[in-house]
């Protein structure tokens, strides 16, 4: 295990539902990330939090709303999603250091299916 | 066109055989290049990290090489095992070195059969 946990592991939801993905890291890291992984496409960075403040938002639609209440927890709130949002959503954490290689540790992901 | 291209897209080999995965990149300059292994249903796990000045880095049966002149990296797997079945992702970090600027390849899906 990498020290990063995600729940739920699988989620099926309708386009009108509201759900949340949860990520928790037990590594004492300062930075946390949400990625989207679709079939045959590179990982897409969605959000970056450093010391609980959002530092990057790569033009993600507003139907995805992140929340970082503390450095160990990260949420992704979902509402009125589209079928094309079906993907594997990965959470990662890192020390957040910029002077040395800063390895990201990934969680197992949440497999999301939007009907 | 992706800045990090990997080939082949998928590969099937028999247990015990060696294989080599390729990564071509256009990101320049870059800070370091990484190979990740992603098992089905799991998140990626770091295998190797090479700075732009390194030519090779090993991690057990995995050996990564880097040719900065041709902008190519390869991951060589020796004496493959069934547990090597996974996707292997090449990641390049530009020299500006923001952790949020990792550039991912699409990965090579490796299947090892007995």
Q: What is the DSSP letter of B100?
A: G
A74 pLDDT above the threshold of 80:
yes
Q: What pLDDT digit, counting tens, does each position of B84-114 carry?
A: 999 999 999 887 655 557 889 999 999 999 9
Contacts of A63 by beta carbon, 8 Å cutoff, 6+ apart: A78, A79, A80, A81, A82, A85
Interface test with A, best of B100, B103, B108 (most A CBs within 10 A): B100
Give the CA angle between residues A40, A6, B44 to the nearest 5°: 40
- Are A90 and A105 in contact, with CB atoms under 8 Å apart? no
pLDDT at B96: 66
Chain B closest-CA separation from residue A37 CA (Å): 10
Chain A closest-CA separation from residue B98 CA (Å): 7
pLDDT band at A54 (very low <50, low <70, confident <90, very high): confident
- Are B64 and B8 in contact, with CB atoms under 8 Å apart? no
Over residues B29-43, mean pLDDT:
90
Instruction: Give how far the C-alpha of residue A64 lies from the chain's centroid of Cα atoms, to the nearest Å.
Output: 10
User: In 3D, which of A76, A83, A92, A66 has the Cα closest to residue A8?
Assistant: A76
pLDDT at B66: 96
Q: How far separated are the first and last CA of chain A, in Å rounded?
A: 31
A27 pLDDT above the threshold of 70:
yes
Q: What is the DSSP letter of A7?
A: E
Interface test with A, best of B30, B45, B99 (most A CBs within 10 A): B99
- How do B108-113 and B10-14 pair as beta strands? parallel
- Are B34 and B49 in contact, with CB atoms under 8 Å apart? yes
Q: What is the DSSP letter of A3?
A: S
- From chain B, the residues in CB contact with A92 under 8 A are 43
pLDDT band at B31 (very low <50, low <70, confident <90, very high): confident
DSSP B57-70: EEETTEEEEEETTT
pLDDT at A100: 62
pLDDT band at B1 (very low <50, low <70, confident <90, very high): low
User: In 3D, which of B64, B103, B46, B70 has the Cα closest to residue A44?
Assistant: B103
Strand partners, A53: A50
pLDDT: which is higher, A101 or A90 = A90
pLDDT at B95: 77
pLDDT at A111: 96
- Are B2 and B19 in contact, with CB atoms under 8 Å apart? no
The pLDDT > 70 percentage for chain B reads 94
- From chain A, the residues in CB contact with B96 under 8 A are none
- Are A54 and A47 in contact, with CB atoms under 8 Å apart? yes
Over residues B32-51, mean pLDDT:
92
* Locus of tokens 């040719």: B67
Over residues A98-113, mean pLDDT:
85
pLDDT at B22: 98
- From chain B, the residues in CB contact with A103 under 8 A are 34, 46, 49
Over residues A46-64, mean pLDDT:
85
pLDDT band at A2 (very low <50, low <70, confident <90, very high): confident
Over residues A80-95, mean pLDDT:
94
pLDDT at A101: 66
- From chain A, the residues in CB contact with B89 under 8 A are 43
pLDDT: which is higher, B86 or B27 = B86
B45, A106: Cβ pair inside 8 Å?
A: yes
- From chain A, the residues in CB contact with B99 under 8 A are 31, 48, 94, 96, 98, 102, 104
């Amino acid at each position: 295990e990498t020290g990063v946990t995600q729940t739920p592991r699988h989620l099926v939801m309708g386009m009108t539902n509201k759900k949340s993905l949860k990520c928790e890291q037990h590594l004492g890291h300062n930075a946390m990330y949400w990625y989207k992984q679709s079939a045959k496409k590179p990982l897409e960075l969605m959000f970056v939090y450093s010391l609980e403040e959002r530092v990057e938002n790569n033009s993600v639609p507003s139907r995805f709303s992140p929340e970082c209440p503390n450095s160990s927890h990260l949420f992704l709130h979902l509402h009125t999603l589209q079928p094309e949002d079906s993907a594997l959503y990965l959470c990662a954490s890192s020390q957040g250091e910029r002077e040395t290689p800063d390895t990201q540790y990934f969680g197992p992901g949440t497999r999301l299916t939007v009907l | 066109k992706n800045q990090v291209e990997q080939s082949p897209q998928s590969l099937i080999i028999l247990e015990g055989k060696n294989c080599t995965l390729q990564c071509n990149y256009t990101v320049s300059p870059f800070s370091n290049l990484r190979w990740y292994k992603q098992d089905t249903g799991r998140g990626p796990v770091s295998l190797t990290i090479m700075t732009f000045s390194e030519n090779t880095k090993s991690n057990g049966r995995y050996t990564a090489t880097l040719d900065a002149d041709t902008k190519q990296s390869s991951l060589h797997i020796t004496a493959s095992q069934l547990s090597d079945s996974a996707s292997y992702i090449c990641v390049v970090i530009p020299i500006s070195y923001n952790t949020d600027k990792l550039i991912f390849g699409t990965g090579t899906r490796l299947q090892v059969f007995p």
